[in-house]
A = this chain, B = another copy of it.
Amino acid sequence: MNKQLIFKKRPVGLPDADTWNLETNEIPELKDGEVLIQNHYISLDPAMRGWMNDTKSYIEPVAIGDVMRAGSIGKVVKANNHPKFNIGDCIVGWGGVQQYLVTNGDNCYKVNDSIAPMPKYLGVLGMPGMTAYFGILEVGKIKEGDIVLVSGAAGAVGSVVGQIAKIKGCTVIGVAGGKQKCDYLLSDLGFDVAIDYKSENILTALKEKCPKGIDVYFDNVGGDILDAALTILRKRARIVICGAISQYNNTGHVKGPGNYLSLLVNRASMQGMVVFDYTDDYGEAAKEIGTWMMQGKLSSREDIYDGIENFHDVFQRLFSGDKMGKLLLKVI
């Protein structure tokens, strides 16, 4: 039997428990060329909130009645003539919020969990790590000496963004919520400056702590922090629009950046990114990130909670900020 979290109702604002329903269903027989994967960990990401809206986006919305979409890692427990996957293989894919997945292997790939523990493949070596890598290098186009600001800096993406920027010789300012996260940025991740947006006025803090302005802003949050960052752009600055977590549960309109004319004054640019555009290069990126990890230049944390039945409570932590690093659900 397979416990599955079924998407029941499109949420307005922050999703409540009624958004999903936990059901137990039979696992269908494998067809020729299919495998059965037992999920070990499920990835909880801010982007999941967007997938619940019935609006045109970079991906189809989750349909009502479907298993809630999520990245996952697990092991093949049954195989029916699959051309690539065998029993025992460790597989990363879009397993969804459920215990088992039947798949022909599309959009799944095999990883080696003896090199890195499974949770890393959903974090620093998975989608968040790839987002950070391609976002800051390909879109942010950082170069040595740049001053780089990153929001959501203690999160799965932001923490990797900042560390890559440090590796590349940049000065890095991180914005995070709370003293614990700010301490983590400074002592564990080697950021140069940390700003606690929950206890400091972001505009004042930015002006004080980035007196020379910024060359790159990697934005995970939108809202007031984006607007404040716009006021301290240097000439030809680049803003990477990766996400806008402060706006995802808005019941009204998204707050647009009122200071966007700073782009004109500073000949600056604001560019959006979606990590799926870089899938062909994930392998190379993961290799480079892995090397930095082994050299002790890049570290990561996962915040792991137990039990598929706790999905809703754990999911809230994405938006309350009550987590450290990559948020995961262990479902085995």
- Considering the complex of A and B, which 10 residue pairs feature the smallest CB-CB distances, nearest first? A256-B256, A264-B272, A263-B272, A256-B258, A269-B271, A256-B257, A270-B270, A241-B264, A254-B258, A58-B265
Further 5 A-B residue pairs, CB within 8 A, beyond A257-B260, A260-B260: A227-B256, A254-B261, A256-B258, A263-B272, A266-B272
Would B272 and A272 count as touching, CB distance under 8 A?
A: no
Residues in B neighbouring A264, C-beta threshold 8 A = 58, 241-244, 272-274
Which residues of chain A (238-252) have a CB below 8 Å from chain B?
241-244, 247
Closest B residue to A271 by beta carbon equals B269
Report the Cα distance A263→B154, complex, angstroms. Answer: 24
Query: Please, how many angstroms separate the alpha-carbon atoms of A168 and B277 in the complex?
Result: 28
**Residues of B contacting A253 in the complex (Cβ-Cβ under 8 angstroms):** 258
Assess A274 versus B267: contact at CB under 8 Å? Given A256-B257, A258-B254, A258-B256.
yes
- Which B residues are CB-close (under 8 A) to A242? 264
Q: Interface SS of chain A: helix, strand, loop or mixed?
A: loop
Task: Determine the chain B residues whose CB is within 8 A of the CB of A256 once the complex forms.
Answer: 227, 255-260
A270 touches B265 (CB 8 A): no
Copies in the complex: 2
Tell yes or no: A295 within 8 A of B by CB: no
What class of interface size applies to chain A in its complex with B?
Answer: 20 to 34
Bound Cα distance from A247 to B262, whole angstroms: 13
User: Can you offer 14 A-B residue contacts whose CB atoms are under 8 A?
Assistant: A58-B267, A222-B261, A241-B260, A241-B264, A247-B261, A254-B260, A256-B260, A262-B272, A263-B270, A264-B273, A267-B271, A268-B271, A269-B270, A270-B270
Does A272 lie within 8 Å of B277, measured CB to CB? no
- Interface flag for A25 (CB, 8 Å): no
Q: Which residues 42-76 of A have a CB within 8 angstroms of B? A: 56-58
Nearest chain B CB to A262 CB, angstrom units: 8
| Contact across chains for B263 and A267 when beta carbons are under 8 A apart | no
Question: Closest CB-CB distance, A47 to chain B, in whole Å?
Answer: 10
Q: Which residues of B contact A267 (CB under 8 A)?
A: 58, 271-274, 277
A241–B265 alpha-carbon span in the complex (Å) = 10
Given contacts A58-B265, A265-B57, contact A270 B274 (CB under 8 A): no
Q: Shortest Cβ distance from A215 into chain B, in angstroms?
A: 15
In the assembly, what is the distance between CA of A264 and CA of B254, in Å?
Answer: 14
